[in-house]
Structure 1
Amino acid sequence: MANRLLPEWHPQDAIQLTWPGPDSDWAAMLERIEATLDAMVVAIGRYQDVVISVPDAATHARLSTRFANLGVAPERLHLIVAAADDTWARDHGPIGVERDGVLALHDYTFTGWGGKFQAELDDSLTSRLHDMGVFACPRINHELVLEGGAIETDGEGTLLTTEACLLNPNRNPQLDRAAMEARLREDFGITRVLWLTNGHLEGDDTDSHIDTLARFCDPATIAFVACDDRDDPHFPALAAMREELEAMRRADGAPYRLIALPWPRACFDPVDGHRLPATYANFLIINAAVLVPTYGDAADSRALAALGEAFPGRDIIPIDCTSVIRQHGSLHCLTMQLPAGSLAAAYTSNT
């Protein structure tokens, strides 16, 4: 029997979100981030279900009314009271893996990106949702520290990741490259690991998550961040990353089709002026659409066009993420896809 890590374009039951509380890191701009999440839920709800962990009963009641007023079909919306530390469902959410066609949700240890932030509630969230009967399939617990934003797969046995994250001693210091690859083969059925040694965004807390830099769009296509400003401090590393991607080959020896995503102008925090990690690579694939982060930048339209080329036949939906990057993430970081067969009958619209 062999495991198979499911690609993001695999059919989905829902997208999982974690709603911020009034005492979270979002406190100073709670209305702004909620407006962004509103737009995401309305967009996703046109295509599939949305499962949202909310911090308390009051938020549950408020959002029930809010999304009814916004026109979200009630059967598509599932609000569950389950407290968390932060909103980054990509990194504390479960990872879907099939074994001989049978789905399981793998629950890895989340430590706040190597101990940078409090993460105890985030780390236990999948377990608590499972115990509440949200999921229809088994949950498999792992002591390995791993975040969903750190890995990309083509669904055919290839995994794309970065050395800076997966080999960082702040995650699993006992594992070298060979041991990490062995673990990925065991858990995910991976036959090849493609490692990027270059690429980083200023303001990124994740130690270069792959979903900020380069993404599979299908088994033959990778969209990646391309910096065309030679005066930007990111230029050398991202140029080197592009060369690495150009040298990579598919399992059959063919080169990848590479789609360059544009470079937005530098974004800075309005309070203290530090640079923020704006990236168009942090898009989200759902059942019949792709949600794309935008930043009120002239490059937004070019990013939407590039991803339209990468995903023919899918709707391309812009989501303003100027608020999201204030906390050093973007659209994909806020979400985790739940593959078809994940959700218990009470938590799916079955459409």
Structure 2
Amino acid sequence: MKILKAVLFLIITSHAHGAESFIYGGPTGGTDIQNAFLPPAAGFYGALIAGMATGDRYYGDNGRIEHGVTINSNAGVAAVGLLYVYPFRIMGGSVGSSLMQDYLYGGIRANGVAQTFSGVGDMYSDILVWSKHIDDAGAGPTGVTIKVAYSMIFPTGKYNESALHSPGSNTFFYIPNVAITYLGRKDFLGDGLELDGHLFFNIPSENHADGYQSGTVADVDYAVSERFGRWQLGLAGYYAWQLGGDSENGQFVPPNGRHFSSAALGPVIAYDIPSLRANVKFKALLPVYTRNGLKTTTAYFVLSKAFK
């Protein structure tokens, strides 16, 4: 059971997978377009997220299918997020904080062992975010925006050490991260090109229930998109790789610390609704590469709205 749990653990919060668990990226659904921005006005902003993940192939240390593992997993997530932008600036930049809580459900079957799961997941928080726009020679909203943040995942979710999968990880994650967004001027395709990049370092604590220590995972989220009036269309993706090996009770987990890596790419589309001060977005991510993990296809729908 312990080996199955380590091999087959699937989480879709923070587009995360794991062996006790690999967590990479930011809030539920990851980041993509407009990822360095904070809203321009102080106040509260909310988001509702619905997502799914499905996978049926496990890839080993050589990046190839492990034919000795038979697996099928389907999971869903519903999440609510709240952002507050403070009514002051620091060094000319906006400042904010956020919380996100999700609920996970689904089923997994591995080598003849089946389990369903449901429950509250771990809480994600951007403890403090700083974002600053650098004007493009007075050309309005175009130019570069940079964002620096310190985020965390708190082990508040439902956890069961003996289960194949638990919604919670029983682990703290410390996540320094930095993002950049470039908005171009109007071009022959539409209202302007947008380039986004977001780098996370996900540093886990030890799971004291079983002595498992996951290695730090770095993750780059990115997007290339074009704006067309209220619409924004493009491609989004990520590449995550583990910097240090996993250990259990002080011993490296075979093979060689079970270093994890994963990459995915897919379409993203968003639409602004000014009359409601809202935005809707859909993103699908198709697996490109996986090492020591379950190759999964994910999709997310996000509704964001200003409250003030």
TM category (shorter chain) comes to: under 0.3
Name the structure with the higher helix share: 1
Give TM-score scaled by structure 1 length.
Answer: 0.25
TM-score, normalisation: structure 2: 0.28
Higher relative contact order (CA 8 A, sep 6+): 1
